Amino acid sequence: MNVLAIDQGTSSTKALVVADGGEVLGEGNFPVHPLAGAHGAVEQDPEELLDSIVQAGRAVLATAGAPVEAVGIANQGETVLRWDRETGKPFGPALSWQDRRAVTVTRELAGHEDRLIELTGLPLDPYFAAPKMTYLRREQGDEGVVTTVDAWLNQRLAGAFVTDAATASRTMLLDLDLDRIGPGGHEELFVPSLAGLGAPFWAPEARGGWLGLSLATRRDDLVRAVVWGIAAQVASLAKAMENDLGRPLERLRVDGGLTRSASLMQAQADLLQVPVELYPSPDATALGAGALARLGIGGAATPAEAVGDWSSTAVFEPKLASAEADERLARWDAAALALAQLSQDSQ
């Protein structure tokens, strides 16, 4: 059974034709162009998003030369747009998951944050869909429907006005019925909060920052700080997940463009103090969408069967002592918190 797997991302759409066992028969890619503006605006042309899926899909089908029996789509889960329910026509640009303008909405709801967390499992942050939806309504009016972008894509591609539970859980509109929500040295630190700080800090107006610069700072110091800053942001989130789960992380499996940096992968293993396993394809998101599509139509009995067998192409083992890793991560966390506090104080 062949599946067309599509990953509609922020800057491009990738499409794969995937056979049983995860074999990739063909690949297509088509760019999209998010537009950043003032006051934290990041918008995307919905028709361009749709066209990128069609173009990438057509290209991969031509390359693969094989029929497909199902289509799976992964997309930007927190991106929203307003559109006409009858015609499917968008009323304007989509608000990217990176768009921060809905902070005006979240500020108004600050007094209800604890209750919202209790209901949805999500902190009150403009990253999520519901604040963006409210912002769109206020700015553009009541006409049409406001949804996550996947519902619009499903309508245009398949005539189905639907989303899925995973995407709905990221909107702040889904009641999860949860009982309770769980909660340096002399080196050129870098906090890569270029679109605000997300989990576990939730400081939407924070901006990226260098700390510890001096006249002795060199270009390679800056590059090294960026590498460790990215790794620290991932590690900080992983530690929060460990606290929620009540058990330590055993390994981290990675894919995507950043995995081309061996330095970053090693820094990630060092800070997490667990092995980092490199997935054999840079397209795990699209392959995952394809696996879920196969599972959904009965082509596989279990998620493991749908994914197929695979083995990592590289494993990065921790080389840094545990105490030093903890100290580095603690310094980075302190820097991130300082930037978050600075953004709050400047409002």
Q: Terminus-to-terminus CA distance in the chain, angstroms? A: 55
Collapsing DSSP to helix, strand or coil, 253 comes out as: strand
Q: Is the pLDDT of residue 232 over 60?
A: yes
Q: Is the pLDDT of residue 106 over 90?
A: yes
Q: Is the pLDDT of residue 343 over 70?
A: no
98: amino acid identity, one letter: Q
Among 52, 79, 98, 93, residue whose Cα is nearest residue 147: 79
Q: How many beta carbons lie within 10 A of that of residue 64, not counting itself? A: 21
Mean pLDDT of 177-192: 54
**pLDDT score of 318:** 94
**pLDDT score of 115:** 85
Cα–Cα dist 124/10, whole Å: 23
Strands 42-44 vs 314-316: parallel, antiparallel or unpaired: unpaired
Mean pLDDT lowest for which of 159-168, 174-183, 202-211?
174-183
Q: Look up tokens 């929500």; give the residue.
A: 181
Cα–Cα dist 139/148, whole Å: 17
* List of domains in the chain: 183-275+317-347 (3.30.420.40)
31: amino acid identity, one letter: P
Q: What is the DSSP letter of 294?
A: H
Indicate the pLDDT class of residue 219, thresholds 50, 70 and 90. Answer: confident
| CA neighbours closer than 13 Å in the CB half-sphere of residue 53 | 27
Indicate the pLDDT class of residue 44, thresholds 50, 70 and 90. Answer: very high
